[in-house]
Amino acid sequence: MGAETIPLWRPLPGWGPPDLSCPRTGVAMWEHDRDGVIYTVPDRLIDDEVASFMIAQDEARLRRGVPLTVLHDWSASAGYTSSARSRLTRHVLAHTELYARIGIVVRPASRLLGMGVQLAATTLAVAGVTFRTYPRLEVAVRALGIRRGGDAA
């Protein structure tokens, strides 16, 4: 039985270690003061395993009944599967009233990932979900006005 490679999570500058990380996928999660989370994905494909981790974390927070602001940093991602895109989109559509805003950081050079994200964005916008893409993490954090949990915005 071979040793499994465990990807390291990507740091979120100025935020310290993540509140939670998934050793199998390398996805890290930080809670922030706007009733929500920031996810960072390492240089890997966003697949069903990554989608399952994110959905499980969102669901735990959705139970509070307070609309979430979620920021996904996919700037290092190698892309994502249509299955993962579909699962993530369906999950948000099933809970539109509980998502205040969703932001996704995608490298401008990542055309295929960007096209998939725009497809999901169009679907979610029709359902009334505020969804925006950003070119860099610091731009997204500033635009969404989020801070480390407990800090004033």
Question: How confident is the model at residue 152, as a pLDDT?
Answer: 36
* 28-32 and 20-21 beta bridge pairing: antiparallel
Nearest Cα to Cα of residue 74 among 110, 36, 105, 48:
105
Confidence tier at 8 by pLDDT (50, 70, 90): low
What average pLDDT does the chain have? 87
Confidence tier at 153 by pLDDT (50, 70, 90): very low
State how far Cα 85 lies from the chain centre: 12
Span 72-82, mean pLDDT?
90
pTM, two decimal places:
0.87
Distance CA 42, CA 90 (A): 23
